Structure 1
Amino acid sequence: MDLSTIAGILAGIGLIILSVFLSSVQPDVYINLPGLLIVVGGTFAATLVSFPAQELGKVWRVLGNVFRNNEYSISDDISEIANAARLRRHGDLARIEDQLSRIGNPFLRTAIQLVIDNTPTEEIVNILQWRIKRLREQERAEAHVFHVMSVYAPAFGMFGTLVGMVNMLFGISGPDMLNIGHNMAVALMTTLYGVILSNLIFKPIAIKLERRTEKRAMIMRMIVEGTIMLAGNRSPVFIRETLSSFSAHHDDELRSTGSSSGKASATQRSSMADDF
């Protein structure tokens, strides 16, 4: 579970509710179901018109990833590539085949399989880069849906405002003056709902999905570099150190101090010893 996403949404809603209670004489006036229906219903209706149903189905399945703490272990991928390089140098391709089924990363599994199948390096790079491009296009399209929803929500908030203003102006000339306040509330609250949904829900989700895509693409590019070195029959130590440097800016090694630094160094020395 990604606590930052949940904490951010709850904190935003909490601050909005707190500001309402501190500044309003009658807080329940901020609860306006017709205005909320206009914004939420209009936003989802416009989204259904804008995108195919099949594409939207994939988006809602991916939405769960926003609330999950998806940690990608770069060190595990580096170890798998270094281990494959060690076995390949020893001519033990059968053991590499056996270990392929235990590799959790399908992209890495495909890359190593292509190497042990003696696929030309240029073709390997083309295949892997095509998969990276396809991943980025697919996941950016998913994030784009939420960017579009973040535009629709304030637009339908403005629509609700116009509806409320028309009803309010029409009521001024009528005998029932009590509906003027109700219509004015609808007019103002729909804009408020649209702004909240856009800037607290839809746009942050889109940004989070885009950042997740970029992180996955970075790991995949690292695997491509490791695969090139594996195909070139480079030493396991060279591969491990090069890929560790490649991913250093994503893993803050400077946080380790004192005994924890010693433990990390011991672990790294143990991994390097296994490469020979």
Structure 2
Amino acid sequence: MGALIALIIGFGSMIIGFMGEGGHVGALISWTPAVIVFGGTLGSVLLAFPLEYIKNIGKILKVSFTAKSKDLTTIIGYFSTIAAKVKREGVLSIESEAADSSDVDPFIKKGIQLIVDGESYEMIRDTLELEMDAIAERHKTGAAIFNSAGGTAPTMGIVGTVLGLVHVLGGLADADMSQLGASISSAFLATLYGLASANLVFLPIATRLKKIAQKEEMEKELILEGILMLQQGVRPNLITEKLTGFLNGTEIVVDSSNIEEGKAVPEL
């Protein structure tokens, strides 16, 4: 929702400002410069990236507009609670966390399953780090696609403007002077489309994807540390203390009564 509001503010401000100068919205609409700018940008992106990456553009956009950061304090409390459960009832007592709970992050479930299966510290770390690298690479590719589009769109806008001016100047001798201004205006729409789409859509989405990737990387690193300490049998209080370092000094409160009395594991 926040991303949609930002788009409305960006384009709305541009259009309102244009109308405030006496322009009308219809003057900003023309299909020929749109074809040149967006068609040219799409062709450039298709050339730069394999088709299997472009196929995922819908999922990438969904992530950029709907991704929500998880509460790291909840994750820390979760690990502290299941660590207490392991201490009381043994490792097999948390097997249901990997098999049955639909509320638990799949990355956590995978780590817990590796612990239940009796895998070594090194195997668990390597397996989860490989998955983290794969996730990071997907985010990097998504951001790179929109960065590429953001770099190409303004250039295609200039190309569209040059093509429009070539057409206008080529027929200048026989042109109807009353239509000359409209023709030149249409030519410059290509530059407008290129600059507006790059700076209000493509580049902001690329930056947004990078920020989402950074947050998810921190979240996965926290989970990895939690899983590894769980595998080593670290005490619940010590797990909380160590994982709190991911919060940049922000204090958290874990309900110790839940740990001691074996209450339900908090939902993630």
Distance in structure 1 (CA, Å) of the matches to 2:182 and 2:53: 39
Distance in structure 1 (CA, Å) of the matches to 2:223 and 2:48: 36
| 1:67 aligned residue | 65
Distance in structure 1 (CA, Å) of the matches to 2:52 and 2:79: 36
- Secondary structure, aligned partner of 2:233: coil
| 2:215 aligned residue | 215
- Secondary structure, aligned partner of 2:66: coil
Corresponding position: 1:79 with 2:66: no
| 1:15 aligned residue | 13
| 1:194 aligned residue | 194
In the alignment, structure 2 segments of 5+ residues that lack a partner are 264-268
RMSD (Å), alpha carbons: 2.3
Structure 2 matches for 1:230-245, cutoff 5 A?
A: 230-243=230-243, 245=244
Relative distance call for 1:93 and 1:177 in structure 2 (3 A) is same
**Cα displacement (A) at 1:137:** 1.0
Count of residue correspondences: 261
| 1:150 aligned residue | 150
Distance in structure 1 (CA, Å) of the matches to 2:204 and 2:23: 31
| 2:255 aligned residue | 268
Distance in structure 1 (CA, Å) of the matches to 2:231 and 2:77: 16
Relative distance call for 1:45 and 1:179 in structure 2 (3 A) is farther
**Cα displacement (A) at 1:51:** 2.0
**Cα displacement (A) at 1:93:** 2.9
Distance in structure 2 (CA, Å) of the matches to 1:94 and 1:129: 24
Corresponding position: 1:33 with 2:20: no
TM-score, length basis structure 1: 0.85
Percent identity between matched residues is 26
Distance in structure 2 (CA, Å) of the matches to 1:134 and 1:192: 37
Distance in structure 1 (CA, Å) of the matches to 2:208 and 2:31: 29
Q: Deviation per CA, 1:197-232: give whole Å up to 9, x if none.
A: 000001111111111111111011011111221122
> Which of the pair has the greater relative contact order for Cα pairs under 8 Å at 6+ separation?
2
- Are the counterparts in 1 of residues 84 and 260 from structure 2 also a CA contact under 8 Å? no
**Which moves more between the two structures, 177-186 or 218-227?**
177-186
Distance in structure 2 (CA, Å) of the matches to 1:181 and 1:36: 19
TM-score, length basis structure 2: 0.87
| 1:43 aligned residue | 41
Structure 2 matches for 1:104-143, cutoff 5 A?
A: 104-143=104-143
Relative distance call for 1:274 and 1:164 in structure 2 (3 A) is farther
- Are the counterparts in 1 of residues 149 and 202 from structure 2 also a CA contact under 8 Å? yes
Relative distance call for 1:115 and 1:95 in structure 2 (3 A) is same
Distance in structure 1 (CA, Å) of the matches to 2:195 and 2:6: 16
Q: Deviation per CA, 1:19-57: give whole Å up to 9, x if none.
A: 101113555322222112221222122222322222111
Q: Deviation per CA, 1:93-123: give whole Å up to 9, x if none.
A: 3321122221521111111222232222122
**Cα displacement (A) at 1:242:** 2.1
Structure 2 matches for 1:86-105, cutoff 5 A?
A: 86-101=84-99, 102=101, 104-105=104-105
Relative distance call for 1:26 and 1:208 in structure 2 (3 A) is closer
Distance in structure 2 (CA, Å) of the matches to 1:15 and 1:175: 35
- Are the counterparts in 2 of residues 168 and 179 from structure 1 also a CA contact under 8 Å? no
User: In the alignment, residue 159 of structure 1 is paired with which amino acid?
Assistant: V
Relative distance call for 1:232 and 1:175 in structure 2 (3 A) is closer
User: In the alignment, residue 200 of structure 1 is paired with which amino acid?
Assistant: L
**Cα displacement (A) at 1:69:** 4.8
User: In the alignment, residue 242 of structure 2 is paired with which amino acid?
Assistant: T
